[in-house]
A and B are shown apart, each in its own frame.
Chain A
Amino acid sequence: MSAHRGSQATRRFKLALVGNPNVGKSVIYNEITGGDAWVGNWPGTTVEKKVGRAVIGGVEFEVVDLPGIYSLSAYTLDEEVAVRFLVEEKPDLVVVILNAVNLERSLYLLLSVLEVGVRVVAALNMIDLAEGQGYKVRSDVLEELLGIRVIPTVAVKGVGIEELRKAILDTLSEPPSTYKVNYGVDVERAIEGLASKIKGYEPAGAKLNVRWLASRLLEEDKYAVELVERLNPELLKVAEEHRRRIEKTLGRPLDEYVVERRYEEASKIASKALIKAGVKKLSLTSLIDYAVTHKVFGIPIMLTAVYLMFRLAFDVATPLCTLVDYAFSSYLPSLISSLPMPEFASSLIGDGVVAGVGSVLIFLPNIALLFLALALLEDVGYLARAAFVVDKVMHKLKLTGKSIIPLLLGFGCNIPGVMATRAIEDEQDRKTTALATPMISCAARLPVYLVFAGALFTAYRGSVVFSMYLWSVIFAALTAIILRKALFKGVSTGFIIELPPYMAPQAKSVCFKTWLRCKRFLLKAGTVIVAVVVVVWLLSVTGPSGYLGVGALEDPELIEQSWIGVVGHWLEPIFTPMGWDWRASSALLVGFLAKEAVVGAMGVLYGVGEEGLSGAIASSFTPLTAYAYMLFVLLYVPCVATLATIRGEMGFKYALLALAYELALAYSVAALCVGVGHLLGVA
């Protein structure tokens, strides 16, 4: 520690936040860092990593928000990430956030962190809720029993944050925790013996906490085993001997016993610190839960919530989308074409870059509002219940309740949908959900349905568009079932979802979550889609004969010579059975890059612009071939940006699989649709 002190002025200290899920950790993170965050992934995982900066009393901190966890036992990915960080990165200080409403469980985690041997400050959060429920938690008793600072806070109201910052600064000069849970004579003796053996193999300067390592080794903790194996595999055998001996005396598995001892200690401390102050009020949570998890009413209530969420996302967003559309398809292009620039450059910027940025931003109002609605439902506490309510239905589709969130997001855009699968712990469930999500009809596909339905199904327009959404859900379910049967055969490990008490949403926390998710969407989708639109532009103004001139974007004769047109001709024979011409095939090629571009591309290809497209479609499609085309657009390949996301989340292999599967599915379904139609005598 003395080494730290000397260079304190220049050194940046490492601060980590640890807490159970739903304990208000993000709010405390925001209060400490001022909301500034770099968001990425922990190396080699899809677990989200959030890092920010804070200055407290002139001292600079790097603040790392560890995932919400219940213990440090490396059983789930989140826990493994957390324990690895604490042991390998050796943060200078750890803030453990305790839930005053659930003290015992919070203390269990706190004890696990103390045992690692780091400097700890505890924030005793949600004291207002605890008091509302008729009991008080004495932070001074906790301080005395645990030997660390414990600061009562109400993070959402900013209460206690100043004191917490001060305690962080003060504790920095204290020695790390030496708190020990007493595991009983037999286990303690084994820990001691094992610890001194490990010490013998410890590389110089490693500063391992050998007591912690020894106790975790006895528990057969995955991460401890890995660490010790690196030191000397012989140690594992010694540990095994100790364990077998102890288990014989105990008559039960050692890890179970150790967890229980730690729990006992936690509840002993909790009972000393808790004071019952008054009469308990009848909890609102119980009442609401009774309704929303009800056997009969649960699902209708959830559907209503989802319906309202979509109304919000689509109705409120419409004027905003129109505004974005006006700016990017009328105002900016005319502004750019009025600038003195060579035609090529002006078209590249106007029809390529600006159109590309526009095609991302056009979805932002929808997606931001969906994110907002989800953050609201999440903070209120409903989302966990929704996952629970739909679990029974989702189980039939071989998915879990938690799959509902990615699938819902998918209606806005498949990209955040695929990204949201991270929250699913079970690997098989996660992959199945991620590959089923692109079947969900995103907002980008809607314009295609609208144009086709408007052109050929005037009277049944609404029903035809709705049928596409129905198909999308059916195919998502089918995909999940097929994947489960063929690829991800393992039985789902099952879920444990915490149902947090209901709370009024806090504007700060909801806005921050929404903003963070929008930012990630813009970064991910933005870069890919803008690049793709520029590529489409390039393929339209060049062809096998070379540069065609930007006139190709308005001239159907010329665009037939471009790469887009030429490839459309190559593809035409493949789609002849469905009755689609080369223009329809070319538009599909464009749609692979970004589905919202299909309509615009058709306007150019038929030489009629978007206004005259209805007429052109009505004359080159029959209702049957048009319906097949709509089905094809729904199902064929996720757009490039979604594929890139699948690759990022699951690897190249799965992106390829998604591509091949969806192409095959779309083609078979479209062909089947036309075939059945002919049999029934529909034209």
Chain B
Amino acid sequence: MTPLAFTREGRLVRVVEVRGGRGLTRRLAEVGFTPGSTLRVVSSSRGPVVVELCYSSASRCSSCGSCWRLALSFGLAMKVMVEEVESVERT
């Protein structure tokens, strides 16, 4: 389990937990960071992180790119704990 901020580009990860106060956990949950949701790390460079959340197919989505893209500040990305689902090469 690693903070989202330290994941590498192109990886598919699953949210394990969000470590924040009530307000923060909830704010993140409402934009899609709920435990169990999968997301794809689009860009990550020890700064803000761009992730892609995919709902449309409710399953793995590795190439559509049409899903919701969110940029998260480094501070927030440190609070989202994730585990890697599989390694996928960037397309």
A interface, CB within 8 angstroms of B: 70-71, 73, 75-76, 101-105, 108, 129, 133-135, 220, 253, 255-256, 259-260, 263, 267, 270-271, 274, 276, 280, 282-283, 285-286, 289, 293-295, 384, 387-388, 391-392, 395, 400-401, 491-501
Contacts and interface: CB of A to CB of B under 8 A. Distances in A.
B27 interface: yes
Nearest to B55: A104
Contacts of A387: 71
Interface string B15-32: 000000011111111111
Contacts, number: 137
Contacts of A395: 47, 73-74
Contact of B31 (A103, A280, A496): A496
Given A135-B56, A496-B31, A75 B71 contact: no
Interface in B20-68: 22-32, 34, 42-43, 45, 47-48, 50, 55-58, 63-68
Contact of B70 (A134, A271, A498, A501): A498
Query: Per DSSP, are chain A's interface residues mostly helix, strand or loop, or mixed?
Result: mixed
A627 to B, nearest CB: 37
10 contacts: A105-B68, A108-B30, A260-B29, A280-B63, A293-B43, A295-B43, A388-B48, A395-B74, A498-B68, A498-B70
B73 A391 contact: yes
Q: Chain B: interface residue count, which band?
A: 35 or more
Contact of A495 (B29, B56, B73): B73
A401 B73 CA distance: 9
Given A103-B55, A253-B22, A289 B50 contact: yes
A498 B69 contact: yes
Contacts of A282: 63, 65, 91
B47 A497 contact: no
B58 A496 contact: no
A574 B88 CA distance: 68
Contacts of A133: 64, 66
Contact of B73 (A267, A400, A501): A400
Nearest to B24: A493
A73 B30 contact: yes
- Centre residue among A102, A134, A400, A500 by max chain B CB count within 10 A: A102
A220 B25 CA distance: 13
Contacts of B67: 102
B45 to A, nearest CB: 5
B19 to A, nearest CB: 12
Contacts of A102: 55, 67-68
B39 to A, nearest CB: 13
B42 A289 contact: yes
Contact of A70 (B31, B48, B58): B31
A103 B32 contact: no
B38 to A, nearest CB: 13
B25 to A, nearest CB: 6
Contacts of A267: 55, 58
Contact of A71 (B30, B57, B73): B30
A543 B64 CA distance: 73
Nearest to B61: A280
Given A271-B58, A391-B48, A494 B72 contact: yes
Given A267-B58, A280-B63, A293 B50 contact: yes
A638 to B, nearest CB: 29
A285 B43 contact: no
B58 A259 contact: no
A260 B71 contact: no
Contacts of B27: 75-76, 496
A295 to B, nearest CB: 5
A150 B26 CA distance: 28
A101 B75 contact: no
Nearest to A259: B29
A289 B55 contact: no
B58 to A, nearest CB: 5
B70 A499 contact: yes
B65 A263 contact: no
A25 to B, nearest CB: 17
B88 to A, nearest CB: 13
A391 B75 contact: no
Contacts of B58: 267, 270-271
A75 B26 contact: yes
A493 B76 CA distance: 8
Given A260-B34, A280-B63, A494 B73 contact: yes
A276 B23 CA distance: 36
B91 A286 contact: yes
A283 B64 contact: yes
